[in-house]
Every structure is written in structure tokens, then in C-alpha cells.
Structure 1
Amino acid sequence: MTIREQTEQSELQTLSQGAAKACLSRGRDLEEPQCELRTVYQRDRDRILHCNSFRRLMNKTQMLLSPQGDHYRTRLTHTLEVSQIARTIARGLRLNEDLTEAIALGHDLGHTPFGHAGERALNEVCSFGYRHYEQSVRVVEKLEKEGRGLNLTYEVRNGIACHTTGHSADTLEGQTVRVADKIAYLNHDIDDAIRAGILSEENIPWEVHVHLGNSKTQRITSLVTSVVHNSIDFITMDKTTDDTFNLLRTYMFATVYVDPVAKGEESKAEQLVKTLFDYYLKKPECLPEAYKMIVERDGLERAVCDYISGMSDRYATAVYDDIFIPKPWQVTPYD
């Protein structure tokens, strides 16, 4: 038996009945030889980890727009925190940790520059709308590897597509990432808001302190523990924990996520994205060569959307400056 086959046999013997087993995967769109060492889900995780879109997440906004400080979250650190929380839940429920990690690492690959401000902007200007979870799937299917895509398994792509709204994922691992994403962003957004002076621990509703705890660590532990103790056929929490979690989410959307300090620059970011979108629609010849190929295959608007959504915050700003900001006159000696 190869090492991969030994791992597959171990999954059949040790994972829970509802867990996704690598040897039972619905497979890839394009069949390819199996790896001697890694299962299909391990290969998917590695492909995501090594792709260009994953690396760009380190310079994409999470909550605070391009924060000046080493300890604020970016889209990349958010992704890693989601992965850690999801893996803890998967381990507690004896689910497939490799599949869970692959979905978590890929769930935000389609996020825009400037976080949800960029997403709102593209959703307004694109005739087909814009949803980052759909773009994440497009990234792994159509855009990575010079248009060839990563050829991921069905289960990973399904988990990415269903990580935020709409239908639940077909696997418990995908459902796990969905709840882990919410646990992660609410708690680390609180942490960042406190660090930025927007929020204090005392401002958080007292019910949250009573039922979930008085710190980020206590809250995450309470939420994860509830998920592990209450999930069997689907991923869920007990009612009290779920109600308190929803109360905390409502509080954050009513305060921090509309705070003028935290969100004061977002209108500028939205305008920047819209301006770039309009510019490339009018001047498609200025698109990079790789995106001109997408124009031929999927149309101009789709190509412009792909290009802008893949930009990091600083790259989008640099492109905007290069196009629209006048350059200083270069004075030569003796002029």
C-alpha cells in the first residue's frame, strides 16, 4: 500500500460516519493520476496554499482599511484564524481535517481589495453583480495557473461556494468552515476594534459576558465547545449560545461595522474601485495580456471584474495613482 492508501484506510477506520472520506470523493472535473503520498484533499490544500491568489490576501483589507500597525488582521491572517478554528471543530467531531483546512484556506480567495467596500463597489458596477464566494470558486476553477485553474475536488469547491450565505455545504466539513468563519471574524474584529480605540470590552452586551466570556479567548472557546458538543448530522450550537452569538453579531453590525472612524475612508475606496472599473471598460487595451484572453472567452466586463477583484489594496492604489495622479516634472541637472 502507498502512504496515500494507508491514510485513506485510516480515515475509514477513525473518522466519524458523517465525515467526508478522501477515497469517496466525487473527484475533479479533470481526472488526474493519484499522488503516492497525499490524499486528494491534502493535494487541494497544498494547491491553494501555493497559489498566487492566496499570497495576495496578505495585502487585502479584513475590517480596518489598510491599517497602520503590525497587529491588525488582514484577509490572510483572517483566513489562517478561520482555518485554525475550523480544524479544532473538525478534530473534535472526527471530521476530515484535510478537507476542512482546504476549504478554509480557499474560502476568501475571491475577495476584493479594500474588503467589503470593494465588494460593494463591484456589485454596483457589474451587470452580473459580485459576490466574493462565487468569485473564490471562479479563482480556483478559471483564473489560477494562467487560466487552467487548480482542478480541485468537488467537495472543496462546494465548501468554498457555500461558506457564507445561501445553501449549506454538502459536507459537514464545509458547514464547519461556515460557522468557523463567523466565529473568527466577529471575535478578531472585536479585538482589532479594541486595539484601534473604537470599542472597549465593557461596551459589549452583558449577555455576551455572561454566556460566552469576557475575552476573545473565552468567547471562541465557548462557541467552539458548543459546536462540538451539539453537532451530529449538521453543524450547530445550543440555543442559548446561538442566540447570544447572534446578539453579538447584531451588536457589531449596529456599532463597529458602521463606526465613522473604522469606516470613514471606505467611500474613497469604493470610488477608486468604480473608477478603475470604468477606465478599463473604456480602455480594454490597457488590461494585462492574461486578462485580454479572458475578454475573448468570457467578455470584457467579466475580465475587468476579474482583474480588479484580484488586486491587493496597495496594488489597486498604485494602479490608480499611475493612471490618474499627475507625475512630477523630472528636473535634470543644469536645467
Structure 2
Amino acid sequence: MSAPITTADWLDFEDGWLAPYAMPSRASRGRRHPEPGHPFRSLYQRDRERIVHCTAFRRMTGKTQVLVAGINDHHRTRLTHTLEMTQLARTVARRLRLNEDLAEAIALAHDIGHPPFGHAGERALDECLKPFGGFDHNLFGLRRVDELEERYPQFPGLNLSFEVREAFVQHSGRGDAPECAEFRTAGAPLLEAQIADVVDSIAYDTHDTDDALGLGLITLPELGRVEFWARATDRVHAHTPGLSDGPLRVAVVRELLAWQVADLLEETGNRIGAAGVRSIDDVRAAAGPLVGFTPELRRLKSGLERFLRDRVYKHHRVLRMTANGNRILQALFAEYVRSPELLPEKHLRRWTGSEAVVGPPPPGWVTAARTRLDCLERVVGDYLAGMTDRFAQLEYRRLFLPSIEL
């Protein structure tokens, strides 16, 4: 029997396989807290496994993608969306000879900071926290993996590599936040990070359409007026005519995915060649995105996204659920800030720095620096952001409908 592959063997394989503009594991800027290497797992492979085993990753199964998680056993949640887009990220990275493990780790972590109730939940928390720096799910995701996960006695958080952590900041619109200072001189995103960002749109455009059909929010005749869907349907009919509605829907969704991935691979290869990219330094110095779609496919995707925005995301069933989630988070935020003793002890200790208080805090016991991450409002926001949809609903009932069992 041959000897097991070691980490050194894997790094040698990367040296021979990866394109010169890919990010090899041995070139990483490393971790915040130094650790010894592992005998048979590379740096990014360990990142991937730390993400998959952490609490925040598991909780994504109970967080909204379009509709509130748990209302239907078949529609997608944050977790299923993440797994689907991660598979796309690996496929694209492999075809371009990029670092699959890094692309996968970034994709797995990309939604880990989303609060309950989807984008409505993010807007609710941002409004509550506006005087204290606001809320951004990417920056919360970074804080989650850097500080809030509790899995190792040697250090806080997951101690992920610089390159995986950097991707949180690159996807955030708040590059001036204090958390971003460490990453400001890194340059443009690595190709592996750009891939994760772009395949995210492939997954949610396609799968939100699929879910909306399955939930009865839209119909096939309505979608037939969307050019991207209509042309994908024509492609399916060309090789598999006569399908009934159910199999046709599945086949068109598959065609949309394949079409977008093929276009992405071709256009990205063309951009890399046209820009003369031959190294990671070239990627870092690039003036614009190297990973992307052709103008024609961007036009088709924009048409589908307009349809989703107008007919799905603004559908009365979706709006009712998001409005309810908004009310729940705002009410919980106000109640916890008014009565912080209701917080679980470990969250309360983040604010007090000591044992939990009993009863209201003493007068003036408020952090002076209002944007600090340990002020009460920020601690409450982090607690709420970590909840699943179901837990937030249950906590609301416990606090405001006292007949429920505690």
C-alpha cells in the first residue's frame, strides 16, 4: 500500500498544478495567532474544515434566503445556498487552475455573518445600530470568525488565514471601518475571492427563481416573458422536446447554471489574457475585476434580476414575512438594551467585562466610546445577528407573550 499523502506532498502538487496567478497555500500571509502546521492538511483545507464545524455555519440552516426558514421543507436556506454556490466556486476554480481549497473556504464563509430574516434583518439591525457604527453582515462575519466563535482554548475565534478573512472585507461596502485596517494595503481581491463573489450571483439568481416557482410566487408563463429564461427554455427544447412543466423547470434551471458558468469561464480567461496577468502581484495590481461575465450575459442576468426584484422580493407574501422579521428584531433590540439582564450571561460579560449583573445596570454604566465593539448596543446586535429565524421568533414570544413556556 502506498504511503498517505502528506501536507508537503500536497504543497508540491499545488506548485506543479496551480496557474501562476493562483494563490498557493505556502504563499499565505498566515494566521493572526501562529500555529504549527498539520501533517496532512494544508492551511486552506484546515480553514474549510474549521468553518464547516463552527456554530455559525450550522445556524445558517435556520436562516432566511428568500422566505423565512422553516415555512417549507423544500425551499433554500442560507446553508443550502452556501453549499450550492460553494460547489460552483470549486468547479470554476478547478477549470481555471486556481486554488480550489481557498475558493471553497471563502465561499463557505461568505454568508456566515447574515442575521435572521435575510436582508430585511440586516436593514433592521443597521437601523438599530446606526448611532454605533451600523451593521454590515460581512464585517459581522469577520468578527464572528475572529472573536465570537469559541472552539479553541489557545485563541479566540477560528484563527482563519489572512486570505479567507480578507474576503469578508472585500465584499463589504464599509472599507473605512476599523476592522478593515489590516487589509487596506493588500490590493485587489485574489481570483479565488472574485470567483466566490461572482458565483454567489449565479446561485441566488437561479435558485431564487426556482424557489419562487416552487412556492407559487410566480408562474412559468410569467417567466417565459423574461428573455434569459425564455432563451434557456429554447435551448432545453432543442435537445429535449416535449417536457411537462415539472421536468422542464428542472431542466431550465440546470441550463441557466451551465450557461452562466460557461460564460464566466470564457470571459474570465479572456480578461486574464488581455490584462497580461502572470502572477499574484498582477492580480493584486489589476485595475478592475478579472472574474466576470460577458456584456451579453450581464444584460440577460440584469433582466432576470429586475423580474425577481419586482415579482418575487416585493411579493406580498415575502414582504409580510420580512416586515414581521423587522418588527421582531427591533423589538428584541429595544428590550435587551432596556433590560440587559435578560441577555445570556456570556453575552452580558462581553459588555460588563465581569460576572452577569442582576437587575438594571447602575446609572452611567455605559461604554463611553459608542462605536466600540463591546458597548451594550453592539453586544445586543451581535447576539441578535447570531440567531436563527426560529430562535428569534421564539425569543420574541418568550419576552412579549409570557404565556409561552420558558
Q: Which of the five TM-score ranges fits, normalised by the shorter chain? A: over 0.9
What residue is the counterpart of 1:134 in the other structure?
A: 139
What residue is the counterpart of 1:332 in the other structure?
A: none
Residue deviations 1:72-98 (CA, integer Å, cap 9, x gap): 101110110110111111111111110
What residue is the counterpart of 1:59 in the other structure?
A: 62
Which of 1 and 2 has greater Rg? 2
Residue deviations 1:253-273 (CA, integer Å, cap 9, x gap): 122111112222221110110
Offset, 1:249: 1.4
In the alignment, structure 1 residue 229 sits paired with structure 2 residue 266: yes
Question: CA 1:305–1:272 in structure 2 vs 1: closer, same or farther (change >3 Å)?
Answer: same
The one-letter code sitting in structure 2 at the alignment partner of 1:228 is: L
In the TM superposition, 1:194-213 aligns within 5 A as 194-204=213-223, 205-209=225-229, 212-213=232-233
Taking the aligned partners of 1:291 and 1:81, their CA distance within structure 2 comes to 33
In the alignment, structure 1 residue 249 sits paired with structure 2 residue 252: no
In the TM superposition, 1:118-197 aligns within 5 A as 118-126=121-129, 127=131, 128-145=133-150, 148-163=156-171, 170-197=189-216
Taking the aligned partners of 1:67 and 1:193, their CA distance within structure 2 comes to 15
Offset, 1:166: 7.3
The one-letter code sitting in structure 2 at the alignment partner of 1:141 is: D
Taking the aligned partners of 1:151 and 1:309, their CA distance within structure 2 comes to 21
TM superposition score normalised by structure 1: 0.93
In the TM superposition, 1:1-335 aligns within 5 A as 3-126=6-129, 127=131, 128-145=133-150, 148-163=156-171, 170-204=189-223, 205-209=225-229, 212-213=232-233, 215-232=252-269, 233=272, 234-296=290-352, 298-327=374-403
Question: CA 1:155–1:220 in structure 2 vs 1: closer, same or farther (change >3 Å)?
Answer: same
Q: Percent same amino acid at aligned positions?
A: 39
Taking the aligned partners of 1:9 and 1:164, their CA distance within structure 2 comes to 34
CA RMSD between the two structures:
2.1
Deviates more, 1:297-306 or 1:308-317: 297-306
The one-letter code sitting in structure 1 at the alignment partner of 2:13 is: S
Taking the aligned partners of 1:308 and 1:287, their CA distance within structure 2 comes to 10
Question: CA 1:176–1:118 in structure 2 vs 1: closer, same or farther (change >3 Å)?
Answer: same
Deviates more, 1:185-194 or 1:210-219: 210-219
Question: CA 1:328–1:266 in structure 2 vs 1: closer, same or farther (change >3 Å)?
Answer: closer
Offset, 1:212: 4.6
Offset, 1:317: 1.1
TM superposition score normalised by structure 2: 0.77
The one-letter code sitting in structure 1 at the alignment partner of 2:59 is: R
Taking the aligned partners of 2:57 and 2:14, their CA distance within structure 1 comes to 28
Q: Secondary structure at the match of 1:66?
A: coil
Residue pair 1:108, 1:133 contacting (<8 A) in 2 also = yes
Question: CA 1:99–1:185 in structure 2 vs 1: closer, same or farther (change >3 Å)?
Answer: same
Aligned residues: 329
The one-letter code sitting in structure 1 at the alignment partner of 2:189 is: D
Residue pair 1:41, 1:153 contacting (<8 A) in 2 also = yes
